[in-house]
Amino acid sequence: MIVAPLDLDAVRAFIHVAELASFTRAAEATGTTQAGISLRVKRLEHRLGCRLLDRTPRYVQLSPQGAVFLERARELVEAHDRALAVLAQTRQRLAIGISDHVAGPDLPALIARMNGQDPQLLIEIRIGSSGDLLQSFDRRELDVVIARLHFGRDDGEVLAEEGFGWFAAPGWQPRAAEPLPLATLAEPCGVRAMAGRLLDEAGIPWTEAFVGGGVAAVAAAVSAGLGVAALAPRMLPLGVVDVGARLGLPALPRLPILLHTRVRSGQPRHALAALSAAFRSAVRS
């Protein structure tokens, strides 16, 4: 009685030899060696307990048992290939938008954690402003958005809260009688709007000294001494310092990070749960 499964590579090798009537041509067709093909066929014959091929120095032909087995071998391989094709056609896709003010340096590790949950899940990541990503979410172009709390939205799940500070290069000093130079992201950006509103309420004149296309660019501008930026400490390059107290700037609140999703079940939900857990851990640390 046969119990152990057959080696599909060995079955494929047998089919090639049977159809090409040659171990050499079968090796060429599969990109391997004649010895490798021969070894696989011998293992298959040992596994089945019968000779499948009759060999002489001049020819290779099917034995009676091999002729019977050949059709079943083809059916086995075809069924295997059809099963893989079905999985490939129905491979699930998960489109995630992550706010640039949220992604940070932990993003590669977070994506790796998510991919480890389900390597077959097709993950698409888009980085952008919270406002733009939420618009894409509403148009159903994204399945998930992770972003800062956005004005007018209350449909997200709070993942974490993160503190902010006013950061500048070491030794940086504002110029007397000039507005405070800010390094910010372009509109729409909730952090930019919050920083400007708090400065206005405190009666502190300010101006945009640098407008970057991403948080990394804003952090680089701060390091270069172009001005002050409202950033989460997790986003900072080494060496920058918090200058809020020294310059008398208004305190910045802790801002919630929200998960907006329409994914409710299946493997995408499991992968998203892994991402959320890893994200909470990154923010806490």
- Asked if the model's pLDDT at residue 184 lies above 90, the reply is no
pLDDT band at 152 (very low <50, low <70, confident <90, very high): low
| pLDDT confidence of residue 1 | 45
Tens digits of residue pLDDT in 125-143: 888 878 888 889 999 999 9
pLDDT band at 90 (very low <50, low <70, confident <90, very high): low
| pLDDT confidence of residue 172 | 86
Average pLDDT, integer, range 23-47 = 85
- Read off the pTM: 0.58
SS3 55: strand
| pLDDT confidence of residue 281 | 67
| pLDDT confidence of residue 27 | 79
- Asked if the model's pLDDT at residue 216 lies above 50, the reply is yes
Strand partners, 212: 185
Cα distances from 243 to residues 68, 237, 248, 250, in angstroms, run 83, 15, 8, 11
Quick one: which of 47, 73, 51, 74 has its CA closest to 62? 51
- Asked if the model's pLDDT at residue 29 lies above 80, the reply is no
Among 147-156, 184-193, 239-248, top mean pLDDT goes to 239-248
| pLDDT confidence of residue 228 | 92
Average pLDDT, integer, range 66-76 = 91
| Residue scoring higher pLDDT (186 or 182) | 182
Average pLDDT, integer, range 238-262 = 87
| pLDDT confidence of residue 119 | 64
- Asked if the model's pLDDT at residue 40 lies above 90, the reply is yes
- Asked if the model's pLDDT at residue 105 lies above 50, the reply is yes
Encoding tokens for residue 277?
């857990």
- Asked if the model's pLDDT at residue 2 lies above 60, the reply is no
Task: Count CB-CB contacts under 10 A for residue 140.
Answer: 9
Helices first, then strands: H and E counts in the chain = 11, 12
Average pLDDT, integer, range 178-200 = 85
Encoding tokens for residue 97?
């938008």
- Asked if the model's pLDDT at residue 283 lies above 80, the reply is no
- Asked if the model's pLDDT at residue 250 lies above 90, the reply is yes
**Cβ(164)–Cβ(230) below 8 Å:** yes
What is the rounded CA–CA span in Å between residue 210 and residue 227?
8
pLDDT band at 194 (very low <50, low <70, confident <90, very high): confident
| pLDDT confidence of residue 116 | 58
Q: Which residue has the tokens 């990503």?
A: 133
Tens digits of residue pLDDT in 156-181: 888 888 888 899 998 888 888 889 99
